[in-house]
Structure 1
């Protein structure tokens, strides 16, 4: 297994850093958004991998991936208003550690950067490397569009 690192471009969110942090550090906030359209868009854009049965609580999300079974991601560390660290478990064929980093720009604007460390076999890397390189920026773009409240 080899460790691969993927880093998003720095994106800007038109919202206060504390509000963004509070929203992203609670996975229950993502449940409605994911179940009301994001899951369908993901399954449509990558038909080889179907994700279903998404559910979440404050610290974790669980979902099924076709052909792989149930997977879970869990928040393992929070540094208020700055960093959220997430780890995977369950049926994923790769181990991931994921950071969301936030910095203030103005009182009503924040910067966000995503970093993904993925531990995977060479075969899996050959299959998903380009998708992860592209996907990390797509995820960052998606996070700039969430309905932060």
Structure 2
């Protein structure tokens, strides 16, 4: 297994840093956006993986991956208004740590960058490595469009 790092471009969210942090640091806020349509898009990106049965609470989300079983991602660290650290557990084909980094630009604009460190075997990396790189940027873009309140 080898460690790979994927970093998003810097994206801007037209909202206060504290509001963005409070929203993203609670997975219950994201559950309304993870629906069957989004799960189908994931399957189209990586046809070998079908994700279903998504559920979440404030600190974690759980879902099933066809052929592997239940997987979970969990928020393990929150540095108020700056960083959210997430790790994987369960039966994912790789282990990862994921950071959401936030910095204020103005009182109503926040700069965001996502970083993914994934520990995976060579075969998994060959199958999904370039998709992870693209996916980190797509996730960052999606996060800029959420209705932060």
Q: With the length of structure 2 as denominator, give the TM-score of the two structures.
A: 0.95
Matches within 5 A, 1:20-39: 20-35=20-35, 37-39=37-39
Distance 2:48 2:93 in 1: 15
Distance 1:82 1:92 in 2: 27
Matches within 5 A, 1:30-109: 30-35=30-35, 37-109=37-109
Correspondence 1:133 to 2:133: yes
SS of the residue corresponding to residue 4 of structure 1 reads: strand
2:6–2:117 contact (8 Å) kept in structure 1:
yes
Correspondence 1:12 to 2:7: no
Q: With the length of structure 1 as denominator, give the TM-score of the two structures.
A: 0.95
Distance 1:36 1:71 in 2: 17
For structure 2, the residue ranges without an aligned partner over 5 or more in a row are none
Matches within 5 A, 1:110-121: 110-121=110-121
Shift of 1:146: 1.0
Shift of 1:147: 1.4
Distance 2:46 2:3 in 1: 24
**Number of aligned residues:** 149
